[in-house]
């Protein structure tokens, strides 16, 4: 069987999610590094977002769909539990992170630092200050979620965790993000613990701005 080819950027947090799945399951994969909107992406994703997957003659886009395919197609730890309730909770947290938490923490808050709309290109302080209550509320919700077991779902690692960890890594870049994460004890311990996993260490992105706003 040919090995899966992940097409995306090593600095992309959604691409990193898919790579984490491969690393945790022991899948031999290749990474083809490219830019948003590149022809290799548009050939598979209708809007040129990353990552996409090519596995032999099978092509797939959207990180959640790719992660599900890899989890079902290869041996190794089950990252989307087959138990109906645990599986549903995993889907729930992936959805919450992708549709609620990521748009605030990364696409809005972080972008006010790395891609501000200010005339002089400096961080948009007014926008940042306005968002901080929502940022703190989201971090507090995540803190409560991991407080009991150190995982988002049950008492073991799932796709829900792998989908969140790259987001937390980039959310810590601005000073308020780092301070906010440090202030929520359980979530800080959660990130500290899981960021030492070999899969996480092996997928640390190279220096440069994170890419998530135009990814999937």
Neighbours of 34 (CB within 10 A): 18
Fold of 84-202: Glutathione S-transferase Yfyf (Class Pi); Chain A, domain 2 (1.20.1050)
CA 90 to CA 96: how far, in whole Å?
Answer: 10
pLDDT given for residue 127 in this prediction:
85
Q: In sequence order, what are the residues at sequence separation of 6 or more whose Cβ sits closer than 8 angstroms to the Cβ of residue 84?
A: none
> Is this prediction's pTM over 0.85?
yes
Distance CA 93, CA 145 (A): 10
For β-strands 5-8 and 30-33, DSSP reports them as parallel
Percent of the chain with pLDDT over 70: 96
pLDDT of residue 196: 97
pLDDT value for 213:
39
Residue 214 has pLDDT above 50, yes or no: no
**Arithmetic mean of pLDDT, 114-121:** 83
Mean pLDDT for the stretch of residues 136-165: 97
Structure tokens at 77: 């730890």
Residue 158 to residue 38: CA distance in whole angstroms: 31
Residues 5-73: name the CATH superfamily. Answer: Glutaredoxin (3.40.30.10)
Averaged pLDDT for residues 106-118 = 83
Question: Domain extents for the chain?
Answer: 5-73, 84-202
């Amino acid at each position: 069987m040919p090995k899966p080819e992940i097409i995306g950027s090593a600095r992309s947090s959604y691409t990193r999610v898919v790579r984490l799945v491969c690393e945790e399951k022991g899948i031999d994969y290749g990474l083809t590094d490219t830019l948003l909107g590149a022809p290799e992406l548009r050939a598979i994703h209708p809007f040129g977002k990353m990552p996409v997957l090519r596995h032999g003659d099978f092509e797939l886009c959207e990180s959640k769909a790719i992660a599900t395919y890899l989890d079902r197609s290869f041996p190794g730890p089950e990252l989307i539990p087959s138990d109906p309730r645990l599986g549903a909770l995993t889907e729930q947290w992936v959805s919450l992170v992708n549709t609620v938490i990521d748009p605030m923490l990364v696409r809005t808050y972080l972008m006010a630092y790395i891609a501000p709309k200010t005339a002089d290109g400096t961080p948009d302080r007014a926008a940042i200050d306005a968002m901080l209550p929502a940022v703190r509320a989201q971090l507090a919700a995540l803190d409560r979620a991991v407080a009991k077991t150190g995982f988002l779902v049950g008492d073991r690692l799932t796709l829900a965790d792998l989908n969140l960890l790259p987001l937390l890594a980039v959310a810590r870049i601005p000073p308020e993000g780092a301070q906010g994460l440090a202030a929520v004890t359980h979530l800080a311990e959660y990130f500290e613990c899981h960021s030492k996993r070999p899969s996480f260490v092996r997928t640390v992105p190279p220096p440069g701005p994170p890419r998530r706003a135009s990814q999937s």
